[in-house]
Structure 1
């Protein structure tokens, strides 16, 4: 019994080639799980829980973000600095980056005095466009 070019079975019925979808779905779900696990890890930055308030959305500009965590540590764009280093370097960072504004985001448990010292240092550096970051009331993270 000769095969006719391998396209037909011995009984004369055509062979069908099916794609096994189970393997494809397994790979897709595996990739989905990997992305779900790694996505929160890739969101770097200083972990701060900002206070809630009725706020307007921030403009999409490239502003400098100064962060203050719950223990009073100061960060310029995720780089930790002391208050003295902040006073000495913020003007240079602001002019080098060429941004119009500086946003201060402080953890709600941060000492008010530290936030006030940071804002005073920004004023002493003659940076006039300073904004405070708050989280909208309805989108509170837990």
Structure 2
């Protein structure tokens, strides 16, 4: 009686698992910002990928949507794109990666514009203290 040898299939599956485990953290790459540190509880895991708006040290805005993640966008463009995304999926989490050198007023202006675009809540991303 001929049996199927499943050992090669298990080996392939384990190699694919390792590849996905290594590449998954790299998917949340975007614009390099120096995040502030804060002692806060992490947000619970959510099923959908968050919409991330980055503010670099010069105050330029970036959106992790589409192919142009490293292209600076205006506040009006980001508001329009976030509004379109929020109309399609209103439960999508929205996060702001603000560099520690950015003035507080610019981050507040961005958060207010995001809420006007339809984001029910906007989260701030920080680094845990060392």
Distance 1:76 1:59 in 2: 22
1:87 aligns with 2:94: no
- Once residues 119 and 98 of structure 1 are traced to their aligned partners in structure 2, the CA distance between those partners, rounded to angstroms, is 16
- Distance change >3 Å, CA 68–CA 120, structure 1 → 2: same
- The structure number with the bigger radius of gyration is 1
Whole-angstrom distance in 1 between the partners of 2:54 and 2:89: 17
Q: Distance in 1 between matches of 2:75 and 2:83?
A: 13
- Look up the match of 1:69: 56
Aligned partner (choices 99, 105, 108) of residue 113 of structure 1: 105
Which runs of 5 or more residues in structure 2 are unaligned? 1-22
| Matched residue, 1:26 | none
Q: For the Cα contact (< 8 Å) 2:87–2:118, is it kept in 1?
A: no
Mapped contact 2:82–2:114 kept (Cα < 8 A) = yes
**Residue number in structure 2 paired with 1:30:** none
TM-score between the two structures when normalised by the length of structure 2: 0.65
The residue number in structure 1 matching 2:129 is 137
Structure 1 portions without partners, runs of 5+: 1-38
Give 1:6-21 correspondences, 5 Å limit.
none
Does 2:41 correspond to 1:56? yes
Q: Label 1:100 to 1:88 Cα distance change in 2 as closer, same or farther (>3 A).
A: closer
Structure with higher RCO (Cα < 8 A, 6+ apart):
2
Aligned length: 98
